[in-house]
């Protein structure tokens, strides 16, 4: 018998990168950035973005007519996604199942970009262990009256309080108005336990310094304060990934920064389509991600 040396079947091969349609369409009218430029950006940062979103269910913001047109916040798998966009049935709060999606590689990511995805918002758990989050996010949402340096100070204070509980954290500029303090976790506790911890932690911070923080959604109570949005940590909730562009004027991007960098950076939308591709994952951030302790009991 002759050994079969034929190459593996096609299905084993990664899907090729999708052909880009409408490359000259303007996506960001204010800076004249085209779909081609958005595609090139994502191609360049793809491997780094994938460390943030790979193997995680996604919500995406799609802007088929650019950021000034109609936008779609999409969490369910749609038609027209290529084979490299993986689909999975997920139980929703009402008990019914719906088809969600995720990507694991560059072809998958670029498929979504070709489908006019601008923003990428992953879950705090991986598909492999959907019910055990490995990331907590405290999203600092400031009242418009709050100065940026107060937001930076708030992020560092949260870092210190988390460290007291044995939880290393890192900072992520949202590319919008605020900062996210992210806590990598070993996937040991379920959503309910993580939700309870986050509620307790955020409520505790707000009760200790009620002039600076609130932990409830109420817009009225937010006046002059920073809302610690801990609701990002519920099953099915998402937060924006580092290197994701935002569908906002100027094409800002969310970005990982070290604590020292945060102390110097002048605005939460400092990074964007022009300078975000030059950023590597900071060593300090990588170390925090690698530490990933279990949720304290």
Q: Interface residues with ligand ATP (CB under 6 A)?
A: 59, 73, 121, 139, 141, 174, 176-178, 229, 232, 238-240, 268
Q: Which is nearer to ligand ATP, 15 or 157 (CB)?
A: 157
User: Residue 239 touches which of ligand ATP, Mn ion, none (CB < 5 to 8 A by kind)?
Assistant: ligand ATP
Tokens of 202: 């955020």
User: Residue 54 touches which of ligand ATP, Mn ion, none (CB < 5 to 8 A by kind)?
Assistant: none
Of 33-41, 138-146, 161-169, 266-274, the segment contacting Mn ion by CB under 5 A is: 138-146
Burial bucket for residue 96 (CB in 10 Å: 0-12, 13-18, 19+): exposed
Residues 52-91 that bind Mn ion (CB under 5 A): none
CB 214 within 8 A of CB 142: no
Q: How far is the CB of 240 from ligand ATP (least distance, A)?
A: 4
Q: How far is the CB of 94 from Mn ion (least distance, A)?
A: 24
Of 19-27, 48-56, 73-81, 174-182, the segment contacting Mn ion by CB under 5 A is: 174-182
Tokens of 186: 């070993």
Q: Does 139 bind Mn ion (CB under 5 A)?
A: yes
Give the H or E element holding residue 182.
Answer: strand 179-184
Distance CA 124, CA 234 (A): 9
The CB-nearest residue to ligand ATP is: 176
Q: How far is the CB of 26 from Mn ion (least distance, A)?
A: 27
User: Residue 282 touches which of Mn ion, ligand ATP, none (CB < 5 to 8 A by kind)?
Assistant: none
Q: Does 269 bind Mn ion (CB under 5 A)?
A: no
Distance CA 247, CA 224 (A): 26
Q: How far is the CB of 83 from Mn ion (least distance, A)?
A: 34
| Selected binder of Mn ion within 171, 229, 256, 262 (CB under 5 A) | 229
Estimate the crossing angle of helix 106-114 against helix 35-53, to 10 degrees: 140
Distance CA 136, CA 55 (A): 17
User: Residue 240 touches which of ligand ATP, Mn ion, none (CB < 5 to 8 A by kind)?
Assistant: ligand ATP
Q: How far is CA 235 from CA 101, 109, 123, in A?
A: 15, 23, 8
CB 273 within 8 A of CB 245: yes
Q: Does 119 bind Mn ion (CB under 5 A)?
A: no
| Selected binder of Mn ion within 107, 122, 178, 184 (CB under 5 A) | 178
Residues with Cβ within 8 Å of 161's Cβ and at least 6 positions away in sequence, in order, are 201, 205
User: Residue 72 touches which of Mn ion, ligand ATP, none (CB < 5 to 8 A by kind)?
Assistant: none
CA dihedral (35, 39, 40, 45) positive or negative: positive
Distance CA 196, CA 101 (A): 27
Of 19-27, 134-142, 203-211, 268-276, the segment contacting Mn ion by CB under 5 A is: 134-142
Q: For binding to Mn ion (CB under 5 A), which residues are involved?
A: 139, 141, 178, 229
């Amino acid at each position: 018998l002759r050994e079969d040396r034929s190459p593996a079947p096609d299905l084993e091969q990664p899907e090729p990168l999708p052909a880009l349609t409408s490359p000259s369409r303007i996506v960001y009218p204010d800076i004249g950035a085209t779909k081609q430029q958005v595609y090139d950006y994502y191609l360049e940062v793809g491997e780094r973005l994938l460390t943030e979103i790979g193997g995680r269910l996604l919500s995406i913001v799609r802007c088929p007519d650019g950021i000034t047109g109609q936008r779609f916040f999409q969490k369910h798998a749609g038609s027209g996604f290529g084979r490299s966009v993986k689909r999975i049935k997920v139980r929703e709060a009402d008990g019914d199942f719906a088809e969600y999606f995720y990507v694991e590689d560059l072809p998958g990511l670029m498929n979504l970009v070709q489908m006019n995805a601008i923003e990428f918002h992953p879950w705090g758990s991986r598909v492999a262990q959907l019910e055990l989050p490995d990331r907590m996010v405290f999203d600092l949402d400031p009242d418009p009256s709050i100065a940026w340096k107060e937001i930076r100070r708030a992020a560092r204070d949260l870092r210190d309080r988390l460290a007291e509980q044995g939880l290393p954290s890192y900072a992520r500029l949202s590319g919008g108005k605020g900062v996210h303090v992210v806590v990598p976790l070993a996937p040991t506790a379920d959503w309910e336990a993580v939700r309870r911890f986050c509620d307790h932690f955020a409520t505790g911070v707000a009760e200790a310094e009620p002039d600076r923080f609130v932990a409830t959604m109420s817009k009225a109570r937010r006046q002059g304060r920073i809302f610690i949005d801990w609701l990002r940590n519920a099953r099915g909730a998402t937060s924006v990934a580092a290197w994701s562009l935002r569908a906002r004027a100027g094409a800002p991007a969310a970005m990982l920064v070290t604590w020292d960098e945060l102390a110097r950076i002048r605005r939460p939308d400092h990074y964007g389509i022009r300078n975000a591709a030059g950023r590597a994952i900071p060593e300090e951030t990588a170390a925090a991600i690698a530490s990933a302790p279990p949720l304290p009991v």
